[in-house]
Amino acid sequence: MPEKILDFEKEDMQKVLAWQWRQVRAALKRASRIKFYKDLFQKEKINIEKIKDFKGLELIPVTTEEDLRADSYSFLGYPMKKIWRIFATSGTTGTPKIIFREPISPERPEILSVWINIFRRFRFWPEKAAIMRPAGGLAASGPVTAKIMELLEIPCITLSPESEAEKTAEVLLAVKPDLLVVSPSFAALIVYELKKKKINPRKLGVRAVISTGEALRANERFYLEKELGARVINTYGAADPSVWIASECEKKGMHILPYTSYVETVDSSGRKSDEGELLVTPFANRAMPLLRYRLGDRAKLDGRKCACGRKLPRITALERREKPTALKVERKIVRLPLRKILTQLADEEPKISSFFNFHTDKVSGRARLIFEADFYRLKKSARKKIEDSFKKKFLSVLESREKGMGKAMRLEVKLVPIGELPRRAAKLVSQLTET
């Protein structure tokens, strides 16, 4: 167990920010030595010696995912032999981003402090953990989490969710971990597999589920807590900058975890604001300096004191980045934040698992909206009722956006069993697309 553990849980924000500033200042220095920022500072005539506080940091232009994708090696801050792991993300454009990670060791307390404080927030210390380690996709979170468990002396099993959910469920039943670190859509699938075999999911003996990798929806929490008899702990992080941004407290406040990054929200003109686009400046991965990295998500930072006594700001109204989907209905095109609309729809109905896909057929113009649901709790008549109600609601949203469209769209809403929709790297594959 590491000796130096950071604990800012009940600290005054002044003190936390003073500590964070020292980390950010060191990150600025490291950044000034790598190619990407050398070029940027020269171009923008930025002298980092003149940046004395977080206000000054705002002078630095935002770094984007595209910057990282264009030349990942220009962000490399360590000689190659000091790199612990290399991860890669293949994005929608096909060009992977490369992430270089420094070793995780007890001498660097930031990341270990994140995990210890997550457990402390729940007065819970796992006896043995199971980590769903995606082999495809980004693949960054699994090895990092496994290493953390090793250093915290928590034995863990890592499982690849690309293997069948059925086999995964069997292994978990044999191992009986009390902690699952998993994406909620994969956890739901495991529970469903067990129930299909008439095995009570509580037999797994899971006490806590750390939800990671995708947004945790109200329905998933409800489903997993009820079926597993476990506490579901929501966390929010980002793999590219290697940061753990927030996790819940016992009062369900998503408090920032100040240990691995400085988080700010900016308005559309790039100025600091309580609500807006999230930018992170990580400081716990010295192998790859990033400054004011744009995650693409939006949120509000609520600095008011929480019922739990923490003064660490809470992230509220978190909206994951979403490119509007263009729907074509009778030669008219309407662009909708489809994911947001469907999430709201799903959250209204606790009986369904809230994972959805949306297809429109280009040729016939017919649209299909598919939701996964736990059929063990749904009679056919109840299913039909939900399908009809979702259809009505969706068409009325469409109609309110564009007159005549609600009536013109040929839509079928269908509930299917959990696991029917494709998953990749333990996450549900988004298919809000035309086919």
For Zn ion, the binding residues (CB under 5 A) are 249, 251, 253, 306, 308, 310
Contacts of residue 327, Cβ cutoff 8 Å, sequence gap at least 6: 333, 334, 335, 336, 338, 360, 367, 398, 409
Least CB distance to Zn ion at residue 222 (A): 21
Least distance to Zn ion, CB of residue 110, Å: 21
Taking the C-alpha atoms of residue 114 and residue 127, their distance in angstroms, rounded to an integer, is 18
Judged by beta carbon, residue 129 or residue 306, the one nearer Zn ion is 306
Closest approach of Zn ion to the CB of residue 16, in Å: 15
User: Bridge partners of 393?
Assistant: none
Closest CB to Zn ion among residues 172, 249: 249
3-state secondary structure the chain: CCCCCCCCCCCCHHHHHHHHHHHHHHHHHHHCCCHHHHHHHHHCCCCHHHCCCHHHHCCCCCECHHHHHHCHHHHCCCCHHHCCEEEEEECCCCCEEEEEECCCCCCCHHHHHHHHHHHHHCCCCCCCEEEECCCCCCCCHHHHHHHHHHHCCCCEEEECCCCCHHHHHHHHHHHCCCEEEECHHHHHHHHHHHHHCCCCHHHHCCCEEEECCCCCCHHHHHHHHHHHCCEEEEEEEECCCCEEEEEECCCCCEEECCCCEEEEEECCCCCECCEEEEEEEECCCCCCCCCCEEEEEEEEEECCCCCCCCCCCEEEEEECCCCCEEEEECCEEEEECHHHHHHHHHHCCCCEEEEEEEEECCCCCCEEEEEEECHHHCCHHHHHHHHHHHHHHHHHHHHHHCCCHHHHCCEEEEEEECCCCCEECCEECCCEEEC
Q: How far is the CB of 350 from Zn ion (least distance, A)?
A: 24
Output the smallest distance, CB 249 to Zn ion, in A: 3
Give 302 or 348: the residue with its C-beta nearer to Zn ion: 302
Q: Which C-beta is closer to Zn ion: that of 10 or that of 335?
A: 10
Give the residue among 321, 326, 322 at the shortest CA–CA distance from 434.
326
CB closer to Zn ion out of 68 and 306: 306
- Supply the minimum distance, in Å, between the C-beta of residue 408 and Zn ion: 47
**Shortest Å distance, C-beta 126 to Zn ion:** 21
Cα–Cα distance measured from residue 176 to residue 259, given in angstroms and rounded to the nearest whole number: 31
Identity of the residue, 211 or 353, whose beta carbon is nearer to Zn ion in the bound complex: 211
Decide: 288 and 76 in contact? Cβ < 8 Å.
yes
Shortest Å distance, C-beta 211 to Zn ion: 17
Distance CA 377, CA 192 (A): 11
Q: How many CB atoms lie within 10 A of CB 38?
A: 13
State in angstroms the smallest separation of the CB of 385 from Zn ion.
Answer: 38
CB nearer to Zn ion: pick between 13 and 382:
13
Compute the least distance from the CB of residue 255 to Zn ion, in Å.
6
For Zn ion, the closer CB: 116 or 411: 116
- Pick between residue 131 and residue 306 the one whose CB is nearest to Zn ion: 306
Pick 237 or 253: Cβ nearer Zn ion: 253
Residue 278 or 306 having the CB closest to Zn ion: 306
CB of 281 to Zn ion, least distance (A): 24
